Amino acid sequence: MARLTQADLADLNTSFEQTSPQDLIRWARKTFHGRIAALTSMQRAGNVVCHMLYELKADMPVLFVDTGVLFHETLDTRDKLVERYGLNVVTLDPELTMEEQTAKYGVLYLDPEGQRKCCFMRKNEPLIRVADQYDAFISSLRRSDGGARSRVPVLSLDAETNSVRINPLVNFDDEQMERYITDNDIHINPLHSQGYATIGCNRCTTPVLPTEPKRAGRWRHLGPWSQYCGINPTDLLNPAEISIDLPLELIDRILGRSTDFMI
């Protein structure tokens, strides 16, 4: 195994800045062979990525974490995307039901520390349990979402799952997003039209006012310091501080280089 750092990806990230989302997906599929999956929470951007996978005939699993306390509209959106696009959506579940978790730990999401623990058990752990099957994940983060995501790179690293994250929509602004959705008649989670700018668990997500930041509706009861769950590492960590271990051959393939073992 060899070490891959965010600094190693700097030149590649620069070269990818003007690359289309579709070409980034093609590159990712070719580079990581069968050890890549897409991630989606059935929100607007994730649905766009799902449509792109369908259009490109990019045969890869789409991982969806069902926390057990999602809105029924989110689960319906998952089912509609499977029906429309024939995607291989793999639903991941937490180890404990919410009832079992509450009986064991109490109601965790009432304070910031408990919220982090709850999100880790219900969102992160299901993904971590299958992470050894993959070297890369396609996400749907966009800089135009603002906040911590305003500086997300095209390629980032996730130490928790020891994987590369590819963000093909990173440069898609809101206008491009809406145009793509309209032009391709993409099914959108109906909660978006009911004031939900972002959508998570039904316990911790509320609509937002037009004058509020997009993520104001996430953990509103905890104040502005709790706006991210942590399943996307760049939301909480500086990408430059993250590194992962991958086979040298794979790192060479990612970076487009060949290693000379001659002395």
The dihedral sign for the CA sequence 129, 133, 136, 137: negative
Contact indicator for 137, 39 with CB cutoff of 8 Å: yes
Name every residue whose Cβ is closer than 8 Å to that of residue 218 and which is 6 or more positions away in sequence. 198, 200, 204, 205, 226, 227, 228, 229
Q: Give the tokens for residue 258.
A: 């060949």
E strand intervals along the chain: 2-5, 36-39, 62-65, 89-92, 136-138, 155-158, 163-166, 243-246
Q: Give the tokens for residue 200.
A: 């998570």
The dihedral sign for the CA sequence 10, 15, 21, 24: negative
In this structure, the number of other CB atoms found within 10 A of the CB of residue 132 comes to 11
Whole-number Å distance between alpha carbons of 256 and 112: 42
Q: Which residues pair with 225 in a beta bridge?
A: none
Whole-number Å distance between alpha carbons of 149 and 189: 21
Return the exposure string of 87-101: e unless at least 16 CB atoms fall within 10 Å of the residue's CB, then b: bebeebebebebeeb
The catalytic residue positions are 229
Whole-number Å distance between alpha carbons of 88 and 98: 26
